[in-house]
Amino acid sequence: MSAPRRFETEGRPEITVRVRVRYAECDPMNVAHHSVYPVWLEIARTELLREQGLAYRDLEASGVLLVVARMNLRYKKPALYDDEITVRCIVLPSAGVKIEHAYEVHREGVLLATAETTLVCVDKTGKMHPVPASLLE
């Protein structure tokens, strides 16, 4: 998937969350370890679900799971310990059993990273399940 173009994202559901970089998330290079970004993306994505009226906790309780099937990340500048960063998450046009999200991580207007994920919706037995319509628009 290429990076989302402007006209695609206009009017799409989106959210921006603030996260402070934890000491335990930083590595000997003095920057947030690259494995932490997926956790931040998940926080933003989950908050977006909540804004769309669906706590992921309740979704799971109802027997529907969203599984990460694909994740692409590009790291442009490091995030440092104690930085307050923002993670913007937007739902890309999606259909069927998949939801695509795109992300931007910023610190004070500076772009630190971009990412995209594809989630697949499954039931408790692992079978594909249509994404609840409220999550797509």
CA dihedral 89, 94, 100, 104 (to 10 degrees): -30
Cα–Cα distance measured from residue 98 to residue 83, given in angstroms and rounded to the nearest whole number: 33
Is 27 among the catalytic positions?
Answer: yes
Which two structure tokens, joined as six digits, stand for 26? 């930083």
User: Which range, of 6-14, 77-85, 93-101, 127-135, touches a second copy by CB under 8 A?
Assistant: 77-85
Task: Tell me: does residue 18 bind a second copy (CB under 8 A).
Answer: no
Q: Which of 14, 16, 56, 97 binds a second copy (CB under 8 A)?
A: 56
Task: Tell me: does residue 3 bind a second copy (CB under 8 A).
Answer: no
- Strand (E) or helix (H) holding 48: helix 37-51
Q: 20-49: which residues touch a second copy (CB under 8 A)? A: 22-24, 26-30, 33-36, 38-39, 42-43, 46
Which two structure tokens, joined as six digits, stand for 99? 């939801």
Cα–Cα distance measured from residue 9 to residue 129, given in angstroms and rounded to the nearest whole number: 25
* Spatial contact of 119 and 68, defined as CB atoms under 8 Å apart: yes
Q: How far is the CB of 53 from a second copy (least distance, A)?
A: 15
Residues near a second copy, by CB under 8 A: 22-24, 26-30, 33-36, 38-39, 42-43, 46, 55-57, 60, 65, 67-76, 78, 80-82
